[in-house]
Amino acid sequence: MKPNPHLFIVIFIGVALVFPLIPLALAWLWRRIFQPPKPGPQKNSIYECGVESLGEAQIQFRSQYYLYAIIFLIFDVEAIFLIPFAVAFTGLPVGAFIAILVFLLLLIEGLIWAWSKGCLQWER
Amino acid sequence: MSEGIDEGLRRELQQQGVWVSSMQELYNWGRKNSIWPLQFGLACCAIEMIATAASRYDIARFGGEVFRPSPRQADLMIVAGTVTKKMAPQIVRLYNQMADPKYVIAMGACAISGGPFKQGYNVLKGIDRYIPVDVFIPGCPPRPEALLHAFMELQRKIDEQKLSGANKAAHLDQEQPSEFPVPSFGKHDLEPPANSNVFHPPAIERA
């Protein structure tokens, strides 16, 4: 008689359950018999570098950072798109050409806006 | 040593290839050969501690294994260097955050007494004022061999710890504290200047 082809999966699951449960049970027994747990406010504290934590973890960043995001898009991300555009320029169909122009226009609009906002000014 | 078995019988069995042990022996044998120190250096002694961990001296041969960057994973705190009064609360807090069982080696003249900076207004005169120290090593700085010796002394100490009974190890005793009060900055000095439950200086006899 041939054994069920799924039998090995059942055995595997059984071993996979028992294998981690034995050390966990041993640790639990050890705690019950020998070593009493000694929790405390400092031992259980979240931060573990020796310094007490100050303030809240959930702070908000200033919304002015969007200006940096815009300038990053213009001078960094745009360049990545401009290089393949320039390489394939002569063979581009009209639709693709207009699409990339719209893309450039949107970013140039952002550049003009950031310029007029004065955030390209070098602060001394 | 296991108390339950006669020493002669034990030796007789060993000759026949049967090794008899006790729970306590097995427990201490495992613990003393895998002591993970906290990766924590304060001053020039830390350089010697690094040398001890590196390949020439290699504390891993003795079970010193890996230096852990978190107190939660460490068994041993090596206070390597001058403890300033600014740093002392942090050290006590780190010690409190270590999981039991935990041990302390005070390494070098500064950590055990303040050393050459003892007269300094900002130097703690020994970390044993706030946390229980297991092994003291003198030296300025102690050589890596001295740290290895202290490590072996600590292993000897761990090996002798009792698992049960009246004088069982502190970490197994519910009554013994695991956290010690953290000193705070007072007007002139740390408050309190020493933890009287931990710090037992020898009485000075004057003729």
B136 contacts B107 by C-beta, under 8 angstroms: no
Note whether residue B122 is domain-resident: yes
Per-residue pLDDT of B52-68, as tens digits, reads 999 999 999 998 878 98
CB contact under 8 A, B96 and A40: yes
- For position B83, what pLDDT does the model report? 93
Cα(A104)–Cα(A74) distance, integer angstroms? 9
Contacts of A49 in chain B (CB under 8 A): 94
CB pairs under 8 A between A and B: 43
Q: Total domain count for chain B?
A: 1
CATH number at residue B116: 3.40.50.12280
Q: How many CA atoms lie within 13 A of A21 on its CB side?
A: 6
Per-residue pLDDT of B116-136, as tens digits, reads 999 999 999 999 999 999 999
Residue B4: pLDDT over 80 = no
Interface test with B, best of A38, A51, A52 (most B CBs within 10 A): A38
Note whether residue B57 is domain-resident: yes
Q: Least CB-CB distance to A36: which of B174, B179, B182?
A: B174
Q: Least CB-CB distance to A35: which of B70, B90, B171?
A: B171
What is the residue extent of each domain of chain A?
63-117
CB contact under 8 A, B71 and A51: no
Sign, CA torsion B118/B123/B126/B130? positive
Per the structure, the complete domain to which residue B42 belongs is given by 36-160
Look at strands B190-191 and B76-80 and give their pairing: unpaired
Encoding tokens for residue B56? Answer: 């020439």
> What 3-state DSSP class applies to B136?
strand
Encoding tokens for residue B58? Answer: 């290699």
Note whether residue B103 is domain-resident: yes
Note whether residue B183 is domain-resident: no
Query: In this predicted complex, what is the ipTM?
Result: 0.73
Whether cis (ω within 30° of 0) applies to the bond prior to B181 is no
Cα(B70)–Cα(A50) distance, integer angstroms? 10
Global confidence as pTM: 0.75
Note whether residue B1 is domain-resident: no
Note whether residue B82 is domain-resident: yes
Cα(A52)–Cα(A66) distance, integer angstroms? 33
